[in-house]
Each structure stands twice: as C-alpha cells, then as structure tokens.
C-alpha cells in the first residue's frame, strides 16, 4: 500500500514513546500490505474497526488514541485521515 498523510502522526510519534514504537511497526506493515478488500485488513489487524463511513479505525497500543485510515483498495492507497 502507498500511505498518504503520515505527517498527521508526527506529533504523536515525537511525544509518545510507546505510541512511536507501535506506529512505526504499523506503518511498516502497511507499506508491505497488499489488501484487496476490507476482510484483508481485519485478517491482519483484528482490532481494527470499519466505521459506517468506510473509515478503518486502528486503536494504538498503550495509548488512548486511534488512527483513522481510508483505503482505496483498487488503487493500493491508504490515506491517514487523522487521529481521534
């Protein structure tokens, strides 16, 4: 997957050591992912939830934040839409 919007994670990466470890590993996994459908995401990340609006929500381990990700499966693009 090509990842767009990594800059939205920069503040959290710089300010929270445990979140930084998780986010760096998560980004590495996304870079190597070849998801074709939503079930592929859930197979790799069972804790991820798909919202009604089609955004995947990934809870960050040891942190009260979640990464919001919109995925264009056909194009192989994952867009980080924000943190919540």
pLDDT in tens, 25-77: 999 999 999 999 999 999 999 999 999 989 999 999 888 899 999 999 999 99
Q: Yes or no: say if 44 and 34 are a contact pair by the CB < 8 Å rule.
A: no
Domain that holds residue 39: 2-83
Q: Which residue has the higher pLDDT, 58 or 11?
A: 58
| Buried-exposed string 47-65: b where 16+ CB fall within 10 A, e elsewhere | ebeeeeeebbebebeebee
From residue 75, alpha-carbon distances to 25, 44, 53, 68 in Å are 23, 19, 19, 18
Where residue 13 falls among pLDDT bands split at 50, 70, 90?
confident
Q: How many domains does the chain have?
A: 1
Where residue 19 falls among pLDDT bands split at 50, 70, 90?
confident
Question: Which residues face 59 on adjacent strands?
Answer: 66
């Amino acid at each position: 997957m090509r990842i767009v919007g990594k800059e939205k994670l920069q503040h959290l990466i710089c300010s929270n050591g445990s979140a930084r470890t998780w986010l760096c590993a998560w980004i590495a996994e996304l870079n190597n992912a070849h998801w074709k459908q939503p079930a592929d995401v859930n197979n790799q990340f069972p804790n991820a939830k798909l919202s009604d609006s089609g955004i995947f929500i990934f809870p960050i381990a040891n942190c009260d934040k979640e990464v919001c990700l919109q995925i264009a499966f056909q194009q192989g693009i994952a867009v980080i839409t924000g943190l919540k």
